[in-house]
Amino acid sequence: MPNYDYSCEQGHIFEIYQSFTEEALTVCPEDGEKVHRIIYAAYIASAARPTSPGAIQAVQKNEYEKSLEKDLPAYKRLRKQGFQPKSTLGAAALEAGATTKFEVQSGKISKEPKKLQQAVDMFEQTMGHSVFTPQVKPKGA
Ligand SMILES: [Zn+2]
């Protein structure tokens, strides 16, 4: 059975096994956002030079997918290590350059990662939850 990678609009990535006849997944199991099947650049036949706007868009999409070829495996390795990067895009750079969990999860590489991590740790000890925990909206707000 083929194995498909999907990406949701929040950047979650997951892979599922599906038969060719099964319909494509449409929503993310984590947050219900729309998902897109990731089609790797390698599978896309290289076409002639783009002339129409549609063809140019297809090339830009191709670039995006090419960057995912590096970012997706990095993203998966980070997830396996217990990190939740914000997005797949840039995951390879984060994997290479980040030294703290905060940097990975915020998607920004800090010049003073140790100080930043200390501040994050202090926050989390004081508040009792992750800095990434979304604010819970009161009902009716
Ligand atoms: Zn999602």
Cβ 95 vs Cβ 73: under 8 Å = no
Ligand 1 centroid – CA 4 distance (Å):
15
Ligand 1 centroid – CA 13 distance (Å):
7
pLDDT tens per residue across all 141 residues of the chain:
566 788 888 888 888 777 767 777 888 888 888 888 876 654 444 444 556 667 666 666 777 777 788 888 999 998 998 888 888 888 888 888 888 888 888 888 888 888 888 888 888 888 888 777 665 555 555
User: Are 34 and 55 members of one domain?
Assistant: no
Residue with tokens 């960057």: 67
Ligand 1 centroid – CA 36 distance (Å):
11
DSSP state of 107: T
Ligand 1 centroid – CA 14 distance (Å):
9
Ligand 1 centroid – CA 12 distance (Å):
4
Ligand 1 centroid – CA 27 distance (Å):
8
User: Are 67 and 116 members of one domain?
Assistant: yes
| Sheet (strand 3-8) strand order | 13-17, 3-8, 35-37
Domain count of the chain?
2
User: Are 54 and 116 members of one domain?
Assistant: yes
Domain with 89, as residue range(s), is 47-127
User: Are 56 and 80 members of one domain?
Assistant: yes
**pLDDT at position 7:** 86
Residue 134 is assigned to a structural domain of this protein:
no
Ligand 1 centroid – CA 24 distance (Å):
15
User: Are 19 and 55 members of one domain?
Assistant: no
User: Are 65 and 34 members of one domain?
Assistant: no
Cβ 38 vs Cβ 62: under 8 Å = no
